[in-house]
Structure formats: structure tokens, C-alpha cells
Chain A
């Protein structure tokens, strides 16, 4: 208690230097929390959007389907079994048929995926209904097709453009049709965007002579919630992939990105800690005579070390208070309004929403506070070990040892 009291007296008495350190540390607090919150929010958003647009409540994969092996697609199609079919008729699941295809944008060969989805589905947020609105194109005209912004950019297509798409049907025979881009969808989800063209399910089944067939069937989210996973397991020829499995890639990516981001605030925190360290070293250097006086007045070295360490650590306490004063309103404001992203931002290879909404958890706040407190204490303690070697008489002279 006494040491706390004295430490507070000393650091408040130290004036401007204290406040400079406190401000630097409080910036670290706010930026760490802001950056982490940003990433958390971003990850939540991407995850949410991916689930809504593609993963649903989990997917049945035709047993040969392997997303990492495009060749597997040749055979990864089958008629949807009856027990899943019943879910489909209740609008609780929707099938997707995936075929390999080729396009020739500006004369260059390009391998893509042609995906068929029911335009009337209400299982996923993927805007398949857009295919329906242009149903009148069916017949002699070109096939209505939907692509994402990334795809549109990378192949140079715009809404209303036509492109020839070539594929093999069920017998391995080449076939080709013109497709008309009826809409370019803006989506944060790369997996419904990159190198793929969406058309209506019945058209692709018809074109490839695979009636009633699919590569995967996506469950509606609430279906997964209501029924136990065991009921999904037993579908011969189909493997159920739950969300945990489907999200593994995203989570891995997020982890990688988070590590990358933490480098920035590690540097910032390091600089703030350096300032504290510097203050401590300088303190012990300049206040040598004071240390001698404290010894003469009857303080032991251990007590003086504790006093100086607590003084240093107090910077973090004050910084937490200062950070709360300006940081909480700022972060709350940003969390409310979100951060608008420039349109080209997603070319960085990460899926973003149009607006980022940072998410700050209690764990993040407490974790950051503990991290800063702990590191400040360590950094404050390290230089004080010099005091342990200081003789009272030398200290009183203000002599350097």
C-alpha cells in the first residue's frame, strides 16, 4: 500500500514525461484493440457471409467430390438420394451441380467452374433469383449467367456481355453455348466468385445430360440446428461436411492474417515499452541521489526496486484510464458506423464486406490490458536491478557505478 502511494506520488509529480509515456501507451492500447477488433469483425463478417452464401447448415458432397482436385469433378455427380430430396422439396436444402468448363476471354484459354443452382432456392443468400428474372432469355438466346466482381474484373466481363462457355457432357463430348452476364454480384465471398459462372440448375443438368444430378447439396442453416448430426451422416454415396470442416480454410487464413496484423501493433507496443524502459533507466540514473536518500531514510533495496517497478507499471494503469477516456467513445463510434472500404480493396485477396464493422470482445479488452500491464511491469523492473548493486554511499553521492 505504502509503495503504491509513493509510486503514485512520484509519477504524478514527474509531470510531462509521465504523460508522454502514458499517451504513447494508451495509443498502443487503443490501436491493439482497434486492430484486433477490426480483424475479429472482418472475420466474423467473412465467415457469416460465406455461411449465408454457400455453406448454409453444412453440405453433402457427392463422395468423389474434392474441391482441391478439379479432375475429381468429372465424376463427382450423382442423382440426389431420396432422403435429401425430401429436404429439398421443403426448401430446406438446395443442390448445386459443378462442372469444369472453359472460356476464352480475349482469345486466352481459361479453365473455370460452371455451377448450377436453383434460381428459386431460399437456402442461400447467393442471388440466384437474378437468373430467374432473365428467364425469357431461355430458348434460342444465350443462357443467363451470374458472376462475381472478382471474376468480372479478372476476365474483363461486364453486365450484359456475352461469352462462349465450353464443357463436356456426361459422355465426355464437347459442347458449347453463349452465356449472357445478367448481373455482376458484389460479394465478400470469394468462393462464389473466383473463376466461376453460375447458371440455373435445370439448364446445366439439361446441357450436360445429368438430369436430377448434383455435386453437392447445401442444407439450410436452421435445419442443421434442429436435427442432430447423426441424421445427416447416413446417406450412401454422399459425405456430410459440417460447418466446422467447411470453415477450416477460412479459419486458417484468418489466423495467418491475424499474425500479420499483430506485427504492426507489436512494433507499436515495443516503441511504447522502449519509452518506459528509457524513462526507467533515466530515472535510476538521475534519481541516484534520491535512491541514496531513500536508503538513508531506511528503505531497503528491495523496497526501492518495488517502488520503481510499480512507478513504471503505473504508466500502464494511467494509460488504460486515458485510453478508456478517448478510446471507448472512438471505438464505439467506429463499431457503430463501420469503415467504408474502397471498391478495389478486395483485390488484396481477402474477402471484405462493403463496410467493416469491428467487433470488440471483453476478452480482447481484458487480454490487451493484461498484456500491456505485464509487459510494462517487466520493462519497468528490468532496469531497477541496477539498484540491487548500488551501495548507499555511492548512491548518496549521485555517483555512477
Chain B
């Protein structure tokens, strides 16, 4: 199981039209990620981290090359198939939390399970478990506006993992958090990675996040320039292709 690649890209490129020229956001990216990894794309702003994460999350399609995610070829998925894949098997964590403001904490975390059509009793159990993991079980009835940024991001993590997805994608999850909260949510995710064997992929330029990664893929101008194992605070399970 550990040896199977959960993500595999081949000559993945993404270009955006930019006036008369084209902007190469990703340039022949070849990458393989094994199940259970806790890795991050790092690099300066504009290096293509978000673009790569979005393609892996089936939110965007490559311009050329291929990306296989959870056994599915991203480039040939229809909008509906991509949505289904995300709904069933991928969790997202965003820099700006992206909680639904009119919903309570409970309802936010419950949302992915509603989409999956789970019955109310099982939903409740799963939601409360997820809130327990992130330490917010006592805030279930609060609205996002009543929470701190760190708490919001923990709710977002709970929402991402409540359906026990195989893959969680997190784009700059700590960018809006202070140091204490950043460490808190990273520790939460490390633990989830250990306990649930969930694969985590980050996009970040935050040193605090990097400290937890057991693999760092450095991007510059859309290319992978470095791919290194490491991370003193993480569990040791790095597998390079």
C-alpha cells in the first residue's frame, strides 16, 4: 500500500495566456507521491505551488502532460467526475479557511458528509470525532465569526478530514495564523497523518510548516528544482521516487 503512488505526474505543464505571450506556471513537472506522505511544495511567490496543487485537486486541468491522482487521469476527467472524486476522496484546506459563514461549526464540518448522503446519526458521530481531533468539540454550535483564525482553520481541517479522505491538499494553511496557532494546526495534521494514514500535500513558504514536512519539493518558475527528505518534527516515512 505504501509503495503505490497516490499522485503521479508526467511532463505536467500549465500555461496561462498572458497578452501575446504565454506564462508557464508549470513546466514539465515529474512527480510521484506515495500514500501516507506528508510533503510540501515550497518556493517563492509565483513559482507554481497553487497551480500544481489545484491540478492535483482536479480543480484545474493541465495544458499538457498528465497527472494521475488516486488512479484517475486528471486531464481527461469531466467536471462531474472531478467533482465526484473530490467529494469522495480529497479534502481541501485553504489559506483563508473558506468556512461557510452562515453555518455553525458543526454544520460546516457536516457538509461533506451531507454531500455523501450519510444518515444523520452517522454524520453526528463523524463530525464530533473530527471536532475532537482538532480540539473544538465544545464549539460545535458556534458560528465561524465567533472563532479566532486558528480555530477557524482547525474547523477547516476537521471539515477536510471528516470523511476520512485519502488525500488532503492544503494551500498556505498557516498564512493567516500566528506562530502558536500554526504549530497547533501542524501538529494536529501530523497526528492525523499518523493515525489515519492520510496523505497530506502542502503548498507553503512558511518555515514553520516546512519544519513538519517529511519531504520538501522546491519549485521555481514552474519547475521542480529540489526534492528533499527531511523534517525533524515529522514521522519518518519518506519515499522518493
B92 within 8 A of partner (CB): yes
Residue of A5, A290, A301 touching B100 (CB-CB under 8 A)? A290
B181 within 8 A of partner (CB): no
A173-B101 Cα distance, complex, nearest whole Å: 93
A295 within 8 A of partner (CB): yes
B221 within 8 A of partner (CB): no
Q: Residue-by-residue, is B74-104 near A (CB-CB < 8 Å gives 1, otherwise 0)?
A: 0000011001111110001010101011110
| Contact partners of A292 in chain B: CB under 8 A | 98
A182-B42 Cα distance, complex, nearest whole Å: 105
Interface locus among B1-9, B111-119, B185-193, B227-235: B111-119
* Contacting pair A13 B59 (CB below 8 A): no
B57 within 8 A of partner (CB): yes
* Contacting pair A393 B114 (CB below 8 A): no
* Contacting pair A13 B102 (CB below 8 A): yes
Which residue on chain B has the smallest CB distance to residue A13? B102
Number of interface residues of A (CB under 8 A): 23
Counting contact residues on chain B (CB < 8 A from A), the size range is 20 to 34
| Contact partners of B107 in chain A: CB under 8 A | 9
* Contacting pair B59 A392 (CB below 8 A): yes
A91 within 8 A of partner (CB): no
Q: Is the interface of A mostly helix, strand, loop or mixed?
A: helix
* Contacting pair B87 A297 (CB below 8 A): yes
A125 within 8 A of partner (CB): no
* Contacting pair B79 A301 (CB below 8 A): yes
Least CB distance from B10 to A in Å reads 21
Write 6 A-B pairs (CB below 8 A) sorted by A numbering.
Answer: A2-B117, A290-B101, A292-B98, A298-B83, A298-B85, A396-B94
| Contact partners of A289 in chain B: CB under 8 A | 96, 98
A396-B107 Cα distance, complex, nearest whole Å: 20
| Contact partners of A5 in chain B: CB under 8 A | 114
| Contact partners of A132 in chain B: CB under 8 A | none
Least CB distance from A337 to B in Å reads 43
A10-B101 Cα distance, complex, nearest whole Å: 9
B30 within 8 A of partner (CB): no
A300-B84 Cα distance, complex, nearest whole Å: 8
B60 within 8 A of partner (CB): yes
* Contacting pair A9 B112 (CB below 8 A): no
A299-B102 Cα distance, complex, nearest whole Å: 18
B72 within 8 A of partner (CB): no
* Contacting pair A298 B102 (CB below 8 A): no
A301-B107 Cα distance, complex, nearest whole Å: 21
Least CB distance from B111 to A in Å reads 6
A293 within 8 A of partner (CB): yes
A296 with B79, Cβ < 8 A, contacts A289-B96, A391-B60 known: no
Residue of A290, A293, A299, A301 touching B115 (CB-CB under 8 A)? A299
| Contact partners of B112 in chain A: CB under 8 A | 297-298
| Contact partners of A396 in chain B: CB under 8 A | 59, 94, 98
* Contacting pair A2 B88 (CB below 8 A): no
A314-B102 Cα distance, complex, nearest whole Å: 16
* Contacting pair A296 B86 (CB below 8 A): yes
| Contact partners of B114 in chain A: CB under 8 A | 2, 5-6
B54 within 8 A of partner (CB): yes
| Contact partners of A267 in chain B: CB under 8 A | none
Least CB distance from A89 to B in Å reads 80
Which residue on chain A has the smallest CB distance to residue B117? A2
